[in-house]
Every structure is written in C-alpha cells, then in structure tokens.
C-alpha cells in the first residue's frame, strides 16, 4: 500500500491504549483548560485520525509562516496549510500542560491534552500575510479569510494527545472514518490502486460519472468517496442530507464492493488550490493512490481560476512531495448529442446548447418547488432526497 505522507507508518495522535486514555481523561480534569475554536478542534480531530501525518501537534509561528509562504516547515517538511491553535484566551504559559475543550459538543468535554512548547503573539500583519498566501485574497467576504482572521492572536504550539473524535463518531457512526480505519478497509478489500473523490456537496450525474471515468481510465480497484462532515458556510447542504443522497446513488448505480462511502471531521477552508493539496495529503494518508481534482476544486465564489487547483500541483508542489497522483478532470456534463456524461474538453465539436447545464441556483429553486431536475443532471432517487430537504427549508 502507498506510504503515508512524511513517514513509513501512519502515526495517529488518538490514544488507542484504553488504560492510557482513561488515565489521560482523569488527568485532564485536573489541568488548566482552554476552549478551542472550531478550526483548532477540527485540526485536533484530524491529527487524532492520522490525516495530518506526520505532525505531532500544532505548529509554532515560524512553521506556520513558513508553510503559508513556501508550503514547508522550517525543517523542510512539505505541508500545504498551517495547522495551528490560535486563541484569544490568556493565562497559558510555555512549558505547561493543558486540556483542550471541545466547542462543538455540549458541556465542552476535553478533546485533547497538550504540552505547550511555545506561546506566541501573532500580529495583524502576520495574520494577513498567512491569509493572503493560503486563500489568495484578504477579502473578508471570503468565508475562509473571515474565519482565519477571527481565530485569535495568541498561537499555542506543541504536541497533543487526542482523546476522542468530537461529535463526528456519534453523529455519523456509519460514515465517519479515521485514516487508520480507511487504510485497514482498503487492505481488507485487497485494493492496490484507489481513487479518492472529495466532496462537500451531494453528487449529481456528472460527479458520479467522473468517479467512473477515473476508475476506468486508471484501472483502479475501487473509489473512496470521502465527504467533509464538519462546518460549512451558510447555505451549504448539511452533512446528513449529503450522506443520504450519496449512499443512495452508490447503492443503486455502482457495482457492489467498488465504492467506499466515508467522511472525515474537518471544517471546510474554501482555500481552493491550497486546500486541493491538503486533500491530496489526506488521501495519501488514507492509502489512496490518486485524487480526482476537478474544476474549481475547494473553491468559493470567483476567487480562483477554474483550474488553479490543478496547476498548483505542476507549478508549486515539488515532484517528490507526494506519492499520490492527481487525476485532472475537466468540467463534466451530459451530452445530448452522445446521450452520456462527458468531459467537456473531450468534445470540442459541442456548443453549450449540446449539454444539459444547470446552475446551482436553478437546481435549488427546482428542488424547493418539488420539481425534479432532469434525469440527465441528477438521479431521481437523489433528487427526491434533496427535494424533501429543500421543501422542508421553505415550509
């Protein structure tokens, strides 16, 4: 199986030894604590699950600035985005041991225990520098910029031990999986070549066919459909609705034992190209050999060019940084001429009138009125689930 990023073996920071974990839970109740923001909590969950391998904890300021600027730490580890714990809480001292409390679970239970190596003030200039490098903009209307700029001005760095996976296991027991669990399942299937598909949205016909195209062209053994289960911007479809619609599509339209439907506990960054590279790190750590990167991958609004998330791998990611390979995809749509979904670059003789093209707004309006989008755009079983959701929102 493909090696994880940065090490020979995956090193999740979740404490799997039951006795040790119980002892840490008891110790945590005696420690000073801080309430994490959702971004820092998601980082802890991802480190716990092995997705951020080979990190051992939150980055210090020098590493965060270096990663933002050059996509590698001061010591040279390739990493596409800073993994930080920024806060506005005071009173934490370097050399202390603290409990990190979960902002997303009632009662704010302890999520992890941290050995604080450094406590550093972050200036507005440094925040802006990192934000511009990560998101390619400082526009506060960009949801990622707005979130990052509001995380706090004190950066706590050091190793952590993760005690649970926040709300993700309880809320999504059939879907949430750690990188460790996905690697194990891939091994159980006996898959060697695995294509990953990242999504924060329900999957329409074009997405479905894109997975099928990638699997066929790469002669892959299986597809990992990997959905984000954490926080999204207002207006995005909730995880439980996406989960139900994706599972129905796979159940009806894919052969058995060719697709794994899973999810991971992270908040969406909307960082476009940088987030596409982060997604590649996640999937290599899961054991996937390829990641589908399509048009405007991880984008929002018009902040990124349609294929910036592909060109970053050619122009900015060193050749030896990742073992995983990218499957670059064009915009896909149903061809009325050919009666199938195609990549638009593959049919230069087509005009826009030859495709079934619908905007997201138009689709949402149709679903809200109980009108099913055309079957060339969305499978009827999927449309039914989405229609029920939108009509509830409008009622």
Q: What is the 3-state secondary structure (H, E, C) of the chain?
A: CCCCCCCCCCCCCECCCHHHHHHHHHHHCCCCEEECCHHHHHHHHHHHCCCCCCCCEECCHHHHHHHHHHCECCCCCECCCCCCCEECCCCCCCCCEEEEECCCCCCCCEEEEEECCEEEECCHHHHHHHHHHHHCCCCCCCHHHHHHHCCCCEEEEEEEEECCCCCHHHHCCCCECCHHHHHHHHHHHCCCCEEEEEECCCCCHHHHHHHHHHHHHHCCCEEEEEEECCCCCCCCCCHHHHHHHHHHHHHHHCCCCCEEEEEECCCCCCCCHHHHHHHHHHHHHHCCCEEEECCCCCCCCCCCCCCHHHHHHHHCCCCCCCCCEEEECCCEEEECCCCEEEEHHHCCCCCHHHEECCCHHHHHHHHHCCCCCCCCCCCHHHHHHHHHHHHHHHC
What domains, with CATH codes, occur in the chain? 18-169 (3.10.400.10), 173-394 (3.40.50.620)
Output the pLDDT for position 22: 97
Active site (annotated) includes residue 200: yes
Q: Is 201 a catalytic residue?
A: yes
Q: Which of 200, 212, 242, 247 is catalytic?
A: 200
pLDDT at residue 395 in the model: 62
Could you tell me the pTM of the whole model? 0.95
Position 114 scores a pLDDT of 98
Exactly one of 108, 128, 201, 247 is catalytic; name it: 201
Successive 10-residue mean pLDDT values, the chain, 395 residues: 97 98 98 98 98 98 98 98 96 97 98 98 98 98 97 98 97 96 97 96 90 96 96 84 94 95 96 98 98 93 94 96 96 89 92 84 80 88 90 74
First to last CA, the chain: 49
Count of Cβ atoms closer than 10 Å to residue 353 Cβ = 8
């Amino acid at each position: 199986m493909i090696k994880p990023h940065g090490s020979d073996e995956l090193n999740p920071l979740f404490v799997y030894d039951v006795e040790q974990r119980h002892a840490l839970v008891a110790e945590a109740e005696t420690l000073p604590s801080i309430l994490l923001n959702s971004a820092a909590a998601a980082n802890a969950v991802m480190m716990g699950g092995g997705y951020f391998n080979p990190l051992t904890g939150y980055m210090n300021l020098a590493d965060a600035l270096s990663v933002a600027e050059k996509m590698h730490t001061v010591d040279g580890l390739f990493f596409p985005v800073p993994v930080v714990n920024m806060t506005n809480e005071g009173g934490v001292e370097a050399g202390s041991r603290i409990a990190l409390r979960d902002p997303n679970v009632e009662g704010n239970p302890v999520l992890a225990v941290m050995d604080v190596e450094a406590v550093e003030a972050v200036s507005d200039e440094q925040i802006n520098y990192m934000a511009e490098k990560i998101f390619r903009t400082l526009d506060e209307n960009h949801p990622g910029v707005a979130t990052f700029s509001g995380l706090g001005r004190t950066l706590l760095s050091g190793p952590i031990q993760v005690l649970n996976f926040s709300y993700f296991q309880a809320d999504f027991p059939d879907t949430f999986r750690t990188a460790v669990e996905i690697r194990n399942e891939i091994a159980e299937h006996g898959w060697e070549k695995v294509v990953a598909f990242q999504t924060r949205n329900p999957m329409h016909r074009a997405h479905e066919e894109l997975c099928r195209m990638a699997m066929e062209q790469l002669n892959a053994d299986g597809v990992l459909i990997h959905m984000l289960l954490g926080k999204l911007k207002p207006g995005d479809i909730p995880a439980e609705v996406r989960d139900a619609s994706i599972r129905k599509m796979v159940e009806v339209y894919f052969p058995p034992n060719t697709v794994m439907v899973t999810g991971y506990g992270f908040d969406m960054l909307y960082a476009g190209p940088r987030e596409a590279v982060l997604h590649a790190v996640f999937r290599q750590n899961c054991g996937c050999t390829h990641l589908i990167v399509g048009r405007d991958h991880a984008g929002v609004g018009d902040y990124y060019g349609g294929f910036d998330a592909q060109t970053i791998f050619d122009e900015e990611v060193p050749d030896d940084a990742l073992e995983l390979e990218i499957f670059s995809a064009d915009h896909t749509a149903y061809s009325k001429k050919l009666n199938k979904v195609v990549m638009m670059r593959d049919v230069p003789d087509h005009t826009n009138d030859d495709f079934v093209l619908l905007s997201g707004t138009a689709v949402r309006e149709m679903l809200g009125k109980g009108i099913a989008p055309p079957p060339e755009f969305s499978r009827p079983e999927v449309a039914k689930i989405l229609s029920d959701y939108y009509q509830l929102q409008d009622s």
